[in-house]
C-alpha cells in the first residue's frame, strides 16, 4: 500500500529504528497477534487545552478518556496512558510537542492534532516518525487531498464537504438572498469561506477578512451595515467570532449569523454574550444524544457536564487505537497497518479510511446547532445530497 510504503521510507530517513511487525488486522476483531495482554504504551492527544478556543477541543479529550477508562477496566493487565499536550492551537507551540512524541518510542499513536494549522505544521514530523495520528477535528481539505501524510487519519469530514453543507443551509434553511462572508485569514478559515462563497455564487454580496487576535471589528461592521445582508457567515474561531458578533449586534446589524465548527464550543457564546442567542454553528460532528447507547449519560457522570464538541469523535478515535492493541499491535508500524485497514462501526459513523486517511464521504455527517441561552442546541442534520 502507498501509505505503508511512505511509512517505511520516513522511518528509515529519521533513523528511529522501529521494529518490523506482521501484526495488524483488516477489521475490528481481535486476532493476528498475541492480543493486548501486558501491553504498555502511550497515546498522545494534542490541541488547545487552554485559551479562548479550548472548548472546541476539551470535550473530545474527555471522550477519549472515557473510552480508555472503560477499556482499562476490562483489561487490567494492560497499561495504556493518554498523555495530554497543550499546544493552545498554535502551530509554533505544536511543533516541539510533536517532535517530543515522534522521538519517544513509548508513543504508539496520537489523537489530534485538533486544529488544521497545527496539523499542517506537524504532520511531516509525525509521518516521518511513523507515528499514527487520528484527528478528531482538523477539517482543512488540503491536509489529505492536496498534501497527504503517510500516517494521518481523521474521523470527521473535511471542509469541502462542510462548506457545501453550510452554503446549502444558508440557502435552504435561512433563505438568505444576500450573504456577507468573513474569514479570519487562517489556514482553516480562508478555505472554508472560499468553499461557501463558491457554492453561494451571486448570493455573496460582499466579503472581508479579519485576523487572528483581532478585537476591533468596527471597519468590518461598517461594511456589513452598508451591505444590508440577510445573513453573515464567519469562518474562523470563537476567540474572534464572539467579539465580532457582539460588535455586529451593538452596531445594529440584525442579519442571521452562522459560523463553522471553529465556533462550536462554550467559548463562542461566552465571548459574544447575549448577542450569540439565535446564532447558528455547523459541525461535522454528531450530537452526543444522537449516538445511541449510554454515551451521553456516561460522559455526564464522569465529567459532570454534558458532552460537547467532538466528544463522540474523540471516543471513536481512542477506540480504534484500543482495538489495534487488542489485535496484538505493539509497534508503531503494526498500529499504522491496523488503522489503515480498519473497518468498524463507531459511535458517530461507520469507519473505513481511504488511502489518504479520510472516512468515506457518504459516512460524513454535518449538523447545525443553534445557540439558546448560552448553550449550543442541536438544530438539524444537514442533508449532503
- The answer to whether the 40-157+289-353 and 160-283+366-382 domains have the same CATH topology is yes
- How far is Cα 108 from Cα 14, in angstroms, rounded to an integer? 16
Q: Judge contact between 262 and 55, C-beta under 8 A.
A: no
Q: Would you call 302 helix, strand, or coil by DSSP? A: helix
Cell 476591533 sits on residue: 216
User: What integer pLDDT is reported at residue 36 of this predicted model?
Assistant: 61
Question: For the whole model, what pTM was predicted?
Answer: 0.85
CATH architecture of residue range(s) 40-157+289-353: 3-Layer(aba) Sandwich (3.40)
Helical (H) or strand (E) element with 41: strand 40-47
Residues contacting 352, CB < 8 A, separation 6+: 342, 343, 359, 360, 363
* Euclidean distance between the first and the last CA atom of the chain, given in angstroms as a whole number: 31
Angle at 233 between CA 205 and CA 194, to 5 degrees: 75
Phi and psi torsions of 176, nearest 5°: -80, 130
Domain boundary assignment for the chain: 40-157+289-353, 160-283+366-382
**DSSP readout, 190-226?**
HHHHHHHHHHHGGGEEEEEE--TT----HHHHHHHHH
- How far is Cα 150 from Cα 152, in angstroms, rounded to an integer? 6
User: What integer pLDDT is reported at residue 353 of this predicted model?
Assistant: 96
pLDDT (tens, 9 = 90+) of the chain, 385 residues, equals 434 444 443 433 333 333 323 232 233 333 333 466 789 999 999 999 999 899 999 999 999 999 999 999 999 999 999 999 999 999 999 999 999 999 999 999 999 999 999 999 999 999 999 999 999 999 999 999 998 999 999 999 999 999 999 999 999 999 999 999 999 999 899 999 999 999 999 999 999 999 999 999 999 999 999 999 999 999 999 999 999 999 999 999 999 999 999 999 889 999 999 999 999 999 999 898 888 789 999 999 999 999 988 999 999 999 999 999 999 999 999 999 999 999 999 999 999 999 999 999 889 999 999 999 999 999 999 988 6
Strand 107-111 and strand 367-372: the pairing is: unpaired
Query: Does CATH place domain 160-283+366-382 in 3.40.50.2300?
Result: yes
Q: Judge contact between 312 and 291, C-beta under 8 A.
A: yes
Residue 359 carries which DSSP code? Answer: B
* 324-352 b/e (C-beta count within 10 Å ≥ 16 → b): bbbbbbbbbbbbbbbbbbbeeebbbbebe
The number of beta carbons lying within 10 Å of the beta carbon of residue 296 is: 18
Q: Tell me the residue ranges of DSSP E strands in 263-366.
A: 280-283, 343-345, 350-352
Cα–chain-centroid distance for residue 359? 13
Residue 250 carries which DSSP code? Answer: H
Amino acid at each position: 500500500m502507498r501509505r505503508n510504503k511512505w511509512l517505511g521510507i520516513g522511518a528509515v530517513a529519521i533513523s528511529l529504528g522501529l521494529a518490523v511487525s506482521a501484526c495488524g488486522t483488516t477489521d475490528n476483531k481481535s486476532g493476528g497477534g498475541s492480543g493486548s495482554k501486558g501491553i504498555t504504551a502511550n497515546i498522545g492527544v494534542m490541541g488547545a487545552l487552554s485559551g479562548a478556543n479550548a472548548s472546541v477541543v476539551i470535550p473530545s479529550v474527555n471522550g477519549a478518556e472515557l473510552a480508555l477508562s472503560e477499556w482499562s477496566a476490562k483489561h487490567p493487565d494492560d497499561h495504556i496512558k493518554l498523555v495530554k499536550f497543550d499546544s493552545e492551537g498554535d502551530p509554533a507551540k505544536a511543533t516541539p510537542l510533536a517532535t517530543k512524541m515522534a522521538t519517544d518510542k513509548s508513543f504508539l499513536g496520537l489523537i489530534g492534532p485538533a486544529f488544521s494549522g497545527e496539523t499542517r505544521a506537524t504532520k511531516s514530523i509525525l509521518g516521518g516518525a511513523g507515528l499514527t495520528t487520528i484527528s478528531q477535528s482538523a477539517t482543512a481539505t488540503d491536509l489529505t487531498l492536496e498534501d497527504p501524510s503517510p500516517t494521518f487519519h481523521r474521523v470527521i469530514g473535511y471542509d469541502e464537504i462542510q462548506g457545501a453543507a453550510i452554503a446549502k443551509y444558508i440557502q435552504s434553511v435561512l433563505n438568505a438572498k444576500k450573504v456577507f462572508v468573513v474569514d479570519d485569514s487562517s489556514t482553516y478559515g480562508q478555505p472554508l469561506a472560499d468553499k461557501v462563497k463558491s457554492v453561494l455564487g451571486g448570493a455573496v454580496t460582499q466579503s472581508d477578512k479579519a485576523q487572528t487576535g483581532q478585537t476591533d471589528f468596527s471597519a468590518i461592521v461598517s461594511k456589513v451595515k452598508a451591505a444590508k445582508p440577510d445573513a453573515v457567515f464567519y469562518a474562523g474561531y470563537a476567540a474572534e467570532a464572539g467579539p465580532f458578533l457582539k460588535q455586529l449586534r451593538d452596531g445594529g446589524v440584525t442579519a442571521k449569523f452562522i459560523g463553522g465548527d471553529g465556533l462550536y464550543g462554550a467559548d463562542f457564546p461566552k465571548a459574544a454574550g447575549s448577542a450569540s442567542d439565535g446564532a447558528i454553528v455547523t459541525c461535522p460532528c454528531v450530537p452526543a444524544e444522537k449516538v445511541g447507547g449510554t454515551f451521553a449519560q456516561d460522559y455526564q457522570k464522569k465529567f459532570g457536564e454534558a458532552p460537547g464538541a467532538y466528544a463522540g469523535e474523540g471516543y471513536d478515535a481512542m477506540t480504534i487505537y484500543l482495538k489495534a492493541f487488542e489485535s496484538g499491535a505493539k509497534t508503531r508500524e503494526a498500529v499504522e497497518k491496523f488503522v489503515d485497514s480498519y473497518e468498524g462501526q463507531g459511535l458517530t459513523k461507520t469507519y473505513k479510511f481511504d488511502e489518504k486517511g479520510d472516512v468515506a464521504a457518504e459516512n460524513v455527517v454535518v449538523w447545525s446547532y443553534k445557540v439558546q441561552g448560552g448553550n449550543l442546541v442541536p438544530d438539524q442534520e444537514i442533508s449532503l445530497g
